[in-house]
Amino acid sequence: MPATLIDGKAVAARMTAEIADEAAAFQHATGIVPHLVAVLVGDDPASAVYVRNKQKACERAGLKSTLHRLPAETTEVDLLRTVERLNADSGVHGILVQLPLPKHIREQVILDAVVAQKDVDCFHPHNVGLLVQGRPRFLPCTPAGCQRLLAEYKIETAGAHAVVLGRSEIVGKPMAMLLIQRGAVADATVTMCHSRTRELASMVRQADILIAAIGKPRFVTADMVKPGAVVIDVGINREGDRLVGDVDFEPVSQIASAITPVPGGVGPMTIATLLRNTLTAAQLSAG
């Protein structure tokens, strides 16, 4: 395999150790232990695993984490009440409502209800606005994780053509926003592609840096990748009991210069950024 394997697990472990040191210093100075509350509604097994991984990561970084598990029949009003209680609790610094929510609950209503100062997912319109303006309060977890991988592997982004495949609120849109900002690990020329893009394969083939976040297993095939491109695979798709990304890993790794694996690439970086945001939220709350 000629491509360099981008080891997100190792980078996330280093980030977690950095955050642990900072959290310990913060606790020493203020007596405050940053506290993340995760809200999990229903019993989607994948969501339960993700939330457990986030809690374990909090433990490793010396952050407090609490899980609020609510039944699948929870009403929108009851979930709103839970969020409002957490908003008002000065002992809670970060609130994460795990998605997806059951169909009868409007996600937008719930996400908008999380007070912006505790919105460690960076979903609140106020936080998205700050991000667009290049003065973020919190970092969008998955996109910032991808950006940190580019930094760690010293991938030149300035003037590079980055293609973001997928236009979700959670990954595609904020990813493009980070890469077009002025500054380090940014200054890229960004093209956003999605399911309605014409000549999709030829657009993707122009990427120096490809961020694949389209949510379709092995969607990006070797013929869609420019030789020497850097490929960041955000996809987590289940194929039987195996996880695969949005990139057809084996053939693409013969063509790319660097590539993230699934699992062990972007996933751990999302969680590490969530820890960073939780520490930031606690620091902001302490003034």
| Binding region for ligand GUN (CB under 6 A) | 96-99, 121, 141-142, 170, 270
Q: Residue 250: how many CB atoms within 10 A of its CB?
A: 10
Residue 220 CB, shortest distance to ligand GUN, in Å, is 20
For ligand GUN, which is the closer residue by CB, 94 or 261?
94
- Ramachandran region, residue 113 (left: φ > 0; alpha: ψ -120 to 50; beta: rest): alpha
Residue 150 CB, shortest distance to ligand GUN, in Å, is 19
- Ramachandran region, residue 193 (left: φ > 0; alpha: ψ -120 to 50; beta: rest): beta
Q: How far is CA 27 from CA 12, 56, 58, 61, 278, in A?
A: 22, 19, 14, 12, 13
Q: Which residue is nearest to ligand GUN (CB)?
A: 99
Longest CA–CA span in the chain (Å) reads 56
Asked about 54 being catalytic, the answer comes back as: yes
Residue 277 CB, shortest distance to ligand GUN, in Å, is 11
Catalytic residue among 117, 118, 119, 121: 121
For ligand GUN, which is the closer residue by CB, 141 or 252?
141
For ligand GUN, which is the closer residue by CB, 36 or 255?
36
End-to-end CA distance of the chain: 49
Catalytic residue among 98, 117, 147, 181: 98
Non-local (6+) Cβ contacts of 139 within 8 A are: 122, 131, 273, 276, 277
| Cα–Cα dist 100/214, whole Å | 16
For ligand GUN, which is the closer residue by CB, 114 or 209?
114
Residue 140 CB, shortest distance to ligand GUN, in Å, is 9
Residue-wise burial string across 64-93, b where 16 or more C-beta atoms lie within 10 A, e elsewhere: bbebbebeeebebeebeebbeebeeeeebb
Asked about 121 being catalytic, the answer comes back as: yes
For ligand GUN, which is the closer residue by CB, 101 or 252?
101
Residue 251 CB, shortest distance to ligand GUN, in Å, is 27
Active site (catalytic) residues:
54, 98, 121
